[in-house]
Chains A and B, each alone.
Chain A
Amino acid sequence: MEGPPLLEVDGVTRRFGSLVANDDVRFTVPRGGLIGLIGPNGAGKSTLFNLIAGVFAPSAGRIVFDGTDITRLPAPARCALGIARTFQVVRSFNAMTVLDNVLVGALVRDADTRAARFRAHEMLVFTGLDGRARALAGELTSPEKRRLEMARALATRPKLLLLDEVMAGLTPTEAREGIELVRRVRASGITVIMVEHVMEVVMPLVDHAIVLDLGRVIASGRPDAVVRDPRVIESYLGAGHA
């Protein structure tokens, strides 16, 4: 891949008290890439995700996005620079309509509510939620809510989209639709990082996988190579299976 990377995570460490959730994590994400961030429970995936999204700052290290050092930047400023995210536990604005939920995302790029509303509707069409535009977000089913999170994030016109376990709890049919949606997002030129706990979901989809265990990167590379890495197998299955 050519050109400077879109995202550069440079020796990032995050401590919570005496617990080291991320330990000297470093990797780069090329423009247009689709990256899987995987690892067993407690591997530090969520912490890393939140560090990139700007929920909290690292204890040490640097994060550079699109040439800007964003290490200390709060979440709203990162959104303005072009980082969007979904939440593992969905966070819809339940009392607002589906269309208004997505509109909130669109407004960061467009102060004119009418133009933003059109943009929001396009995102609903893109995610297949346009039929539910006027429902209250609280009335959606949980797969619909996951799509809504995606539509809302896309409405911010991100360069980088962070997906936090968007496939969790979906039926196989829903998951297939989800994967299709992620592919279309990527095809529209947006770089995607997916955090998933279940390897089977991400591996066929991503072009690069990063495996975390106990806060460290233990493997990084093409998915087919990564799944054969003894350390990865050991971390998922426990010692003895390697």
Chain B
Amino acid sequence: MTAQIVLQVLLSGLLMGLIYALVASGLALIFGLMDVVNFAHGDFLMVAMYALFVLVAMSGADPLLLAPVVTLVLFAFGAAIYLGIVRFAMRVQTNRGMVQVFTTFGLGLLLQGLAQTIFTPDYRSVDGGIVAGKSVALGGIILPMPHVVGALISLAAFGLIWLLINRTDLGKALEATREDADAVALVGIDRNRVFAIGWGLGSALVGLSASILATFFYIFPGVGNSFVLIAFVTVALGGFGSVYGALAAGVLIGLIEAMTALLVAPSLKMLGVFAVYLAVVTFRPRGLFGSM
């Protein structure tokens, strides 16, 4: 095993990790804001990928150009899901634990069923556009262009989240609600509206990550299932609800996955991730980067 191979693996892992971080960011944002896990997170991703698929098929435009459209569509979708469904699940008094899990979980099943019925279980792919089939060569290390672009978009998105949370009134409202949802009502912030916007933003991030994934990954009704596991682990590692923790954890997972594939076997690459997850859950139940 040469140093070059190791470097190649680590860099690929880093790029994938940045993309995983973006996939998990929406889950972390919603969880942090209101302590609700969206068990349909993976299926939101699937919906976004099919949305991109349809848009590309209709317009013939480059998928990356359509990414902002998908992001907006998912914002509306997420906010609508909150206002139409999740809001009511939060009010239920009996069997609350069960209700909070199974409302979004049932939604996920429904979305998968709809995708199966509308698009059939077949694997689809969008034409990757300008990034398709290209790669970047750095002194013998070859990195696929879609991964490079995806990682850069992910970093840019995390930068935007930082600006949004720290430099805007909306960000202040989100932070305040996150800290004490009951108290903000007293200062005139409409909690429901903030939650709806939170679901919108979280889902918009899913839309963005789906647009990146679609340039190099197949689209099928169960596509969310594999990514949602990584997102769950990322969020658990990053400290539930911490968006920046998700960034660090995503990168870590990308690296672990790549190294497990190299050192153990490619078919067992997720096992390294799961092992790290179990270790973290055992010794740091609040995640590697979680506070308190």
- Which A positions have Cβ atoms within 8 angstroms of B? 94-95, 138
Contact = CB atoms under 8 A, between A and B. Distances in A.
B117 interface: no
B59 interface: no
Interface string B137-176: 0000000000000000000000000000000000000000
Contacts of B93: 94, 138
B182 to A, nearest CB: 13
Contacts, number: 6
B250 to A, nearest CB: 30
Contacts of A138: 93-94
Interface string B64-102: 000000000000000000000000000001110000000
Contacts of A94: 93-94
B292 to A, nearest CB: 10
A interface secondary structure, majority: loop
A100 to B, nearest CB: 15
Nearest to A136: B94
Closest 5 CB pairs of A and B: A95-B94, A138-B93, A94-B93, A94-B94, A95-B95
Nearest to A95: B94
A95 B95 CA distance: 8
A194 to B, nearest CB: 27
Interface in B172-214: none
A95 B92 CA distance: 13
Nearest to B292: A17
A158 B93 CA distance: 31
A234 B274 CA distance: 59
6 contacts: A94-B93, A94-B94, A95-B94, A95-B95, A138-B93, A138-B94
Nearest to B94: A95
A21 to B, nearest CB: 17
A94 B95 CA distance: 10
A98 B50 CA distance: 51
B96 to A, nearest CB: 10
Contacts of B95: 95
A212 to B, nearest CB: 24
Contacts of A95: 94-95
B47 to A, nearest CB: 35
A129 B93 CA distance: 23
B100 to A, nearest CB: 16
A45 B94 CA distance: 31
A89 to B, nearest CB: 13
Contacts of B94: 94-95, 138
B91 to A, nearest CB: 15
A189 B259 CA distance: 67
B180 to A, nearest CB: 15
B222 to A, nearest CB: 35
A109 to B, nearest CB: 29
A138 B96 CA distance: 13
